[in-house]
Structure 1
Amino acid sequence: MPKIIFQEADGTRIEVEAPVGKTIMEAARDSNVPGIDADCGGALACATCHCYFSDDQIGMLPAKSASEEDMINFANAEVKDGSRLSCQISITQDMDGWVVQVPDTQ
């Protein structure tokens, strides 16, 4: 099972076992990762699972849908090039060891 490391804005790291096929948001929510609120439960109706991904990681992810692009503009934290909604990213085995940055606010 892949392990995803969530890095909080203060540098704290939380390592989570993440089942393939679940979303990154589900893995964070199910492991009580602080800073991933997931208010809408993954329905793409909020931006409280906003995370930052590295350039290398972004290149391995599917493109943002128009709906995700629209919704991410509602994020409370700064939107950056690596900004994605973690509810829209399904976990694959290739993500083992990935570090996902959690914004300082949702």
Structure 2
Amino acid sequence: MQHWLLGDFRTVYKFFCVWYNLLSSRDTGSPHQTPNPPNRPLSPPTMAIAGLQRISSKLIRNPTLTIISRSSATTTSSSAKVSDRIVKLIAYDFDGQKREIVGLSGQTLLKALTNHNLIDPASHRLEDIDACSAECEVNIAEEWLGKLPPASYDEQYVLKRNARHRILNKHSRLGCQVVLTQEMQGMVVAVPEPKPWDTP
């Protein structure tokens, strides 16, 4: 972009130089013309050339200076990226109601569920395994179990620690540990009924 702008400015600069030289030669060749007095204001071509020189020097000193707003270009680019990251999921609440929800690749399943009020955000403020007490537990449909990365030792420990009779349900995963990807389009999950000890 910088080279393109400098190229245009050089073209305009040359144009003004030619124009100014023509005017100067015309003025010099006329017998009735008198030389410019020392304090006479600069002519418009000279002022324009000086302005172009200042702008060119600023562009050389500051490569980040551009005429086109970078913020608008960034906004357009960000919008395109967000649309490419959309992951559509099917979630069942603990009453069995089917919901179509939307998340973004790179976000956690917990984030998508809290954004649609399927999990109370206040119950899980940190997406950190060390701060998790399985309030974000979800059940993954059978056909999707093998498509997810396996649960880590820490995730299994938290799930087992908070499971009834310490028996781990194979469908159970922590929403805070499942990171959405484009391969999870259409994944079916269920939010289990709150455990009695989690109900106020």
TM-score > 0.5 by shorter chain: yes
Alignment pair present for 1:48 and 2:135: yes
Structure 2 counterpart of 1:64, from 139, 151, 154: 151
Q: Which residue of 1 aligns with 2:6?
A: none
SS in 1 for 2:99: strand
Contact 1:3 1:96 in 2 (8 A): yes
**Cα distance in 2 for residues equivalent to 1:3 and 1:37:** 24
Percent identity of equivalent pairs = 27
Give, in whole Å, the separation in 2 of the partners of 1:27 and 1:67. Answer: 22
Partner of 2:68: none
1:85-100 equivalence runs, <5 A? 85-100=174-189
- Say if 2:114 is the partner of 1:25: no
Alignment CA distance shift 1:76-1:66 (3 Å): closer
Quickly say closer, same or farther: Cα 1:38–1:3, change in 2 above 3 A: farther
- Structure whose residues are more often helix by fraction: 2
Larger Rg: 2
Per-residue deviation, 1:5: 1.6
Q: SS of the counterpart of 1:18?
A: strand
Seen in structure 2, the aligned counterparts of structure 1 residues 32 and 17 have a Cα distance that, compared at 3 Å, is: same
Which ranges of 4 or more aligned residues in structure 1 deviate by more than 6 Å?
none
Q: Deviations over 1:25-62 (max 9, x none)?
A: 01111222246765242111210110111222110111
TM-score (norm 2): 0.48
Shift of 1:88: 0.7
Write the letter of the residue equivalent to 1:29. T
Distance 2:170 2:185 in 1: 22
Q: How many residues were matched structurally? A: 106
Cα distance in 1 for residues equivalent to 2:155 and 2:189? 18
Which AA in structure 1 matches 2:191?
A: V
Call closer, same or farther: CA 1:100–1:33 in 2, change over 3 Å.
same
Q: Tell which has more relative contact order, 1 or 2 (C-alpha 8 A, sep 6+).
A: 1
Q: Distance in 2 between the 1:37 and 1:55 partners? A: 29
SS of the counterpart of 1:74?
Answer: helix
Is the strand fraction higher in 1 or 2?
Answer: 1
